[in-house]
């Protein structure tokens, strides 16, 4: 439209994203804000439960989940894979192994995200299916603190591969554990009943287009 062509699109874009998406969405915002300099961004990050709470209070225009709530009337736009991978310190003897069975992996001290985390939710569903229990050593409320604790040799964990992008894999190795990664996929979500603001709609289309050409394997191993 004309406003778009003239670069006049303005307003605030309110985004509420789960913590695994905070490594990725900002990389979309750089170009977006260059293209639409009049748009102001309000970027909120929380764990899955916190973002669900924001959603039920109607606080933001668009949400990013990998495990959207099942009981909410949402329109979902899946846009990118979010694989959950097993990690250990790169000095861990398993870092050199060709493969590790799930049963063996489960004996190692494990660092788990807090209740309310979508990463934990996906992990618990996976463990239930596999009839497996982990040897939990520590509950940690942050992906970064888990990465650093794993680096320091406190134990192993399972995190979104996106947490390892752009240098986040320093000091860490992705372990070839059988049955992993746990696959999930991010979706942009918004209330079914509530029309998107023009700014949110513009961002949604922008994100969908950009991620079409995005190499999924950015970050993680070998980068």
Q: Closer to ligand PGA at the Cβ: 67 or 92?
A: 67
What's the CA gap between 47 and 51, in Å, rounded? 6
Residue 9 beta carbon to ligand PGA: minimum distance, rounded to whole angstroms: 29
Contact characters 13-32, ligand PGA, x per CB under 6 A: -----xxx------------
* Neighbouring-strand partners of residue 159: 85
Q: Closer to ligand PGA at the Cβ: 160 or 202?
A: 160
Does residue 163 belong to the site contacting ligand PGA (CB under 6 A)? no
Indicate which single residue of 61, 66, 156, 168 sits in contact with ligand PGA (rule: CB under 6 A).
Answer: 66
Q: Closer to ligand PGA at the Cβ: 156 or 199?
A: 156
Q: Closer to ligand PGA at the Cβ: 49 or 197?
A: 49
Does residue 47 belong to the site contacting ligand PGA (CB under 6 A)? yes
Indicate which single residue of 85, 87, 100, 118 sits in contact with ligand PGA (rule: CB under 6 A).
Answer: 118
Q: Closer to ligand PGA at the Cβ: 31 or 144?
A: 144
Does residue 157 belong to the site contacting ligand PGA (CB under 6 A)? no
What's the CA gap between 219 and 223, in Å, rounded? 5
Indicate which single residue of 9, 14, 92, 113 sits in contact with ligand PGA (rule: CB under 6 A).
Answer: 113
Supply 211's token pair: 């991620």
Indicate which single residue of 24, 80, 119, 187 sits in contact with ligand PGA (rule: CB under 6 A).
Answer: 119
Strand 39-46 and strand 11-18: the pairing is: parallel
Q: How many residues does the chain have?
A: 223
Q: Print the SS3 string covering the chain.
A: CHHHHCCCCCEEEEEEEEHHHHHCHHHHHHHHHHHCCCEEEEEEEECHHHHHHHHHCCCCCEEEECCCCCCCCEEEEEEEECCEEEEEECCCHHHHCCCECHHHHCCCEEEEECCCCHHHHHHHHHHHHHCCCCEEEEEECCHHHHHHHHHCCCCEEEEEHHHHCCCCCCCEEECCECCCCECCEEEEEEECCCCCCHHHHHHHHHHHHHHHCCCCCCCCCCC
Residue 2 beta carbon to ligand PGA: minimum distance, rounded to whole angstroms: 38
Number of residues that bind ligand PGA (CB under 6 A): 13
Does residue 147 belong to the site contacting ligand PGA (CB under 6 A)? no
Residues that bind ligand PGA (CB under 6 A): 18-20, 47-48, 66-67, 82, 113, 117-119, 160
């Amino acid at each position: 439209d004309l406003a778009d062509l003239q670069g006049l699109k303005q307003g605030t874009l309110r985004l509420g994203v789960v913590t695994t998406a905070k490594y990725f969405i900002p990389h979309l915002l750089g170009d977006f804000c260059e293209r639409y300099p009049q748009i102001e961004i309000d970027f909120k990050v929380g764990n899955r439960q916190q973002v669900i709470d924001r959603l039920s209070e109607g606080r933001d225009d668009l949400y990013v989940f990998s495990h959207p709530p099942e009981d909410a009337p949402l329109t979902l736009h899946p846009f990118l894979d979010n694989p959950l991978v097993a990690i250990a310190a790169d000095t861990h003897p398993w870092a050199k192994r060709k493969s590790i069975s799930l049963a063996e992996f489960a004996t190692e001290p494990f660092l788990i995200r807090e209740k309310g985390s979508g990463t934990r939710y996906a992990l618990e569903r996976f463990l239930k299916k596999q009839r497996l229990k982990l040897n939990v050593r520590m509950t940690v409320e942050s992906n970064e603190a888990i990465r650093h604790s794993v680096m320091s040799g406190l134990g192993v964990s399972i995190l979104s591969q996106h947490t390892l992008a752009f240098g986040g894999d320093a000091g860490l190795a992705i372990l070839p554990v059988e049955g992993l990664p746990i696959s999930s996929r991010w979706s942009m979500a918004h209330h079914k009943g509530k029309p998107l603001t023009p700014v949110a709609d513009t961002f949604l289309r922008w994100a969908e287009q950009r991620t079409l050409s995005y190499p999924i394997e950015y970050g993680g191993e070998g980068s």
